[in-house]
Structures are given as structure tokens and as C-alpha cells.
Chains A and B, each alone.
Chain A
Amino acid sequence: MRKRILLFIPLLVFIILVVLFNAQMDTDPTQLDMARAGQPVPDFSLEALDEPTRTLNNADLPDQPYLINVWATWCPACRVEHPYLVDLKEKGINIVGLDYKDERDKAVAWLTDLGDPYSLVLFDKDGRLGLDLGVYGAPETYVVDSEGLLRYRHIGIVNEKVWQDILRPQLIEAGWKP
């Protein structure tokens, strides 16, 4: 009788493994948690993309909930999401652009050709603010609340589904009123 029970051990181990693997199925290991969650936007002093002589710092950021979109002309996925960002701007969403490790001429031409969805574009040539934010690729989109605290980070492109399912609820939670 005792022997019989022991025969079920492999089945039990198998079931435990199925449960463990299944729990890991939907987690993407390339998506890192945002280390900066709940913290203010790091201090920065960067040139405006369109005006090299104008220096922007934290005081220039919006005081209502907004998005920070990390983009660059070398990033193909950024081109994919760009038209949707323009749509969001038309819906009245305040998006601050962070032009990450890019060339100014190309970036200016990009916005002229494809439309400018940003209320403000920080030119982060060396990726300094990017590093302080914990950016590890483009595009990334951050949700910032009215206190200037970083609430959420989305890795990858923004589209209708991402907006409806993730960013819009996050922005509402951050105090944004549709």
C-alpha cells in the first residue's frame, strides 16, 4: 500500500512543474521592473531639441499628469508608434518627448515629416537622463502624475490597445481627467 502511494510522486512533481511553468508563461523576462517607480523625474538640464540655446530642466515639465516618450530616429519601432502618438496629442494628451542618443538634424526632420506629438522635446544626446531614468531601449513610455512622480513605464510601442488597456488607466490613476 505504501509502495502504491510512492508511485504517485512523479505525477505530483509533474503537476507542480506544470503549475510553475504556467505561472511564468505570461511574464516576459526582457521587461524589467521600473526601479524608479514612485520617485520624481530625475534632475536634468538638457537642450530643447528645436532650440539648442534653450536649456530645459525639471521646472519646464508639465504640472498635470503627462507621458514621457523615449524615442530616437535610429529606432524602427518608434516610427511604428509615431502616428499613434500624433493621434494621442489630438485627443489632448500631454506628451513630453525624450530624444534619446540621437542626431539633432535627423530628429528635427523626423518631427517635420511625421508630425510633432510632443509639447516639449528634450534632446538627450548622451543618454544622461535616459540612464538616470533607467531607460534600456527605445521606445519606452512613462506615466508621470501631477506631483511629478514616475508612476508607470511601458516598454515597447504604444498603439490603440496599449493606450486603452494600459496607459489610459495608468494616467487616470495618476490623476488625469479624460
Chain B
Amino acid sequence: MTRLLRTLMMLMVMSLSGHLPAAIYEFSSPELQERFEELVYELRCPKCQNQNIADSNSPLASDLRDEVQRLLEDGYSDEAIRNHMTDRYGEFVLYKPQVNERTAILWFGPAAAVLTALIGLFWWLRVKARRDHVAAEAAPQVDEMDEQRLAELKRQAADYEVRRD
């Protein structure tokens, strides 16, 4: 049983490592290799839309990896490579899109939603606090006259009970 389990786990680990096509690329320097790995993780495959080009097995992703490798060896900067790709495939290829008019909602939408919710919550709490305050003000106050009257009534009630006994 343990042996079977061990074999299965081994197979799982092996199948994981098999999904890293980016690992087979060779570079003239380890620094280029590092930049390559970062770039292929942040470039999106136009054909298989929910994968980056490191992850995808499509022929297009493989072409784009080759292109990134070629550009790196030609001395392109990361920024120049990103621009090279967006010139051809549009903003779509960037998993981390640039901040501009079209992508503003992606960048600031979530923060705006949270901010709106916080403002709403604050407003609601303030209204509620004010309402409670007003309610407390309006509640009848027990003043001295009332207390005397209450004491009088209690005494009468006690007398009444004594008399009934």
C-alpha cells in the first residue's frame, strides 16, 4: 500500500515538472534565463486565453517563447520586449496591463468599490447613531417630581396591601 502510494506521488510530481516547457530554453547568461522566466510568466497567450506563454502548449505560445528568447539574446530590454508584443497582439498579451484610460477600471475598479462600500457603511453608522441619540432624547426623563409621585404611589400600594391582610 505504501509502495503504491509512493509511486502515485512520484508520478504526480513528475507530471508537474512535465508542464514547464519554458525550462528547455538555453541562454548565453543566467541573467537572461531569469528575465526570460519572468517575461514568459507575464505574457498571455493570444490563442489559449487563460494561459501565459510559459504554461501553454499551443504552437503560437511556443513561437512567442522563441521570439522572447531571440529578443533577449539580441539585447532588448524587458520593456522593449513587452512593447514588441503589444505592437503585434495588443494590450491583451500583458497579464499586467499598463495603466491607461482603457485599463483604468481594471486597476482602480476594486479599490473604488471598497471605498464606496466603506463610505456607505460609515454613512449608515452615522445615521443609525443619530437616530439612537434622538430616540434617547425623546425618551421620558424621570425627574424629581416623578420620583416623589412614584414614592407616594409605592407607599399607597404598601398601605393597601397591609390593610388587605
A residues near B (Cβ < 8 Å) are 29-30, 32-36, 101, 127, 131-134, 136-137
What's the dominant secondary structure at chain B's contact region? helix
What's the dominant secondary structure at chain A's contact region? loop
B88:A36 contact, CB within 8 angstroms: yes
Within 8 Å CB of A133, what residues of B? 88
Q: How many angstroms between the C-alpha atoms of A132 and B88 in the bound complex?
A: 6
Listed by A's residue number, 21 A-B pairs whose Cβ atoms lie within 8 Å are A29-B49, A30-B49, A32-B89, A32-B92, A33-B90, A33-B92, A35-B86, A35-B87, A35-B88, A36-B87, A36-B88, A101-B59, A127-B63, A131-B63, A131-B64, A131-B88, A134-B46, A134-B90, A136-B60, A136-B89, A137-B47
Within 8 Å CB of A36, what residues of B? 87-88
Which 7 residue pairs spanning A and B have beta carbons closest together?
A: A35-B90, A136-B46, A134-B88, A136-B47, A134-B89, A32-B92, A33-B90
B67 at the interface (CB under 8 A from A): yes
A17–chain B nearest beta-carbon distance, Å: 14
B residues near A (Cβ < 8 Å) are 46-47, 49, 59-60, 63-64, 67, 86-90, 92
B60:A137 contact, CB within 8 angstroms: yes
Within 8 Å CB of B86, what residues of A? 35
Q: Which of B47, B49, B60, B89 contacts A35 (CB 8 A)?
A: B89
Q: How many angstroms between the C-alpha atoms of A35 and B59 in the bound complex?
A: 20
Closest to B60 in A: A136
Q: How many angstroms between the C-alpha atoms of A94 and B132 in the bound complex?
A: 79
Within 8 Å CB of B59, what residues of A? 101
Q: How many angstroms between the C-alpha atoms of A156 and B90 in the bound complex?
A: 19
Q: How many angstroms between the C-alpha atoms of A28 and B60 in the bound complex?
A: 20
Q: How many angstroms between the C-alpha atoms of A136 and B90 in the bound complex?
A: 12
